[in-house]
A and B are shown apart, each in its own frame.
Chain A
């Protein structure tokens, strides 16, 4: 259905919780589409990765970003705002994936042009279901920008 079936999908996960990283990795592994999951643990690393600076010089541009809101060093809200104001980065879809259910976080994220906002389920099976649904929607239904 889209061009991305030809090469692995590059996903950047910005997440500081090792348990959630592990679950996301497992859920993505089961998926039928080949994907490379890149993980960074804080907001500064996320921006370095996206700007391919320092140790990230050879890293690919992600097709989709999964972004937690509560992160060390640089907050997810700041990362989101920077991405969506940057002409070279703003076209990359950003999926907010967070524990926060606060209305303020939901509204702020959409106002900052998050592509969608998803609350992490506490239940492990539900979590895996959510990651699989994200994967299926963004990689087999949606057309991604191919810059």
Chain B
């Protein structure tokens, strides 16, 4: 639409440890009309290193959007979310929780920790693609993202 962010590639950070979900997300994003780059962190510790540009991540750009799973090795997605949303340099980055959990407690806690939205991963492949495409359409064509 009128969003400036469509002019440059959108940088997405996916924090996900399940290889099948990573592959599906990558495929769904490829099909989309909006040019995007997808970086993947396999656990919560890696995600925080990436966001703080530590070690091998010194040259990465701050992502425009984070897709965050809740159940992750090393550092849990809930902890990653809490840290992000308390960090004045990172809290403005929209965080979409994308998880298998349907627990009301997880939903409520995520919103209380200021997740921007909470989405349950559908088990069905086509539904999963549909959800990833809906995330893209909404966040990259309707929403104004924070300027970098």
Which residues of A approach B to under 8 Å, CB–CB?
Answer: 1, 84, 87, 90-93, 101, 103, 106-107, 110-111, 113, 115-119, 121, 126, 130, 133-134, 136-138, 141-147
Q: Given contacts A91-B108, A91-B112, A106-B146, is CB(A143)–CB(B118) below 8 Å? A: yes
A133/B137 in contact, CB under 8 A: yes
- Provide the residues of chain A in CB contact with B137, threshold 8 Å: 133, 137
Complex alpha-carbon distance, A97 and B55, angstroms: 39
Identify 11 new A-B residue pairs, CB closer than 8 A, beyond the known A91-B111, A116-B116, A119-B2. Answer: A90-B112, A91-B112, A106-B146, A107-B146, A116-B139, A137-B117, A137-B142, A141-B119, A142-B117, A143-B120, A146-B104
Q: Encode contact with A along B78-108: 1 for CB under 8 Å, 0 otherwise.
A: 0000000100100111100000001010011
Specify the chain B residue showing the minimal Cβ separation from A2: B120
B119/A118 in contact, CB under 8 A: no
Which residues of B approach A to under 8 Å, CB–CB?
Answer: 1-2, 85, 88, 91-94, 102, 104, 107-108, 111-112, 114, 116-120, 122, 131, 134-135, 137-139, 142-147
Complex alpha-carbon distance, A69 and B135, angstroms: 24
Among B2, B108, B112, B114, contact of A121 (Cβ-Cβ < 8 Å): B2
Specify the chain A residue showing the minimal Cβ separation from B88: A111
B111/A93 in contact, CB under 8 A: yes
Whole-angstrom distance between the Cβ of B7 and the nearest chain A Cβ: 15
Among B2, B116, B142, B147, contact of A107 (Cβ-Cβ < 8 Å): B147
Complex alpha-carbon distance, A135 and B66, angstroms: 22
Specify the chain A residue showing the minimal Cβ separation from B85: A113
Among B94, B102, B142, B146, contact of A134 (Cβ-Cβ < 8 Å): B142
Specify the chain B residue showing the minimal Cβ separation from A134: B142
A-B contact pairs, 17 of them (CB 8 A): A1-B122, A84-B114, A90-B112, A90-B114, A111-B88, A113-B91, A116-B138, A118-B142, A118-B143, A118-B144, A121-B1, A126-B1, A137-B117, A137-B137, A142-B119, A143-B118, A145-B108
A141/B144 in contact, CB under 8 A: no
Whole-angstrom distance between the Cβ of B51 and the nearest chain A Cβ: 15
A115/B117 in contact, CB under 8 A: yes
Among A103, A113, A141, contact of B114 (Cβ-Cβ < 8 Å): A113
- Provide the residues of chain A in CB contact with B102, threshold 8 Å: 143
Q: Given contacts A143-B102, A146-B104, is CB(A115)–CB(B116) below 8 Å? A: yes
Whole-angstrom distance between the Cβ of B85 and the nearest chain A Cβ: 7
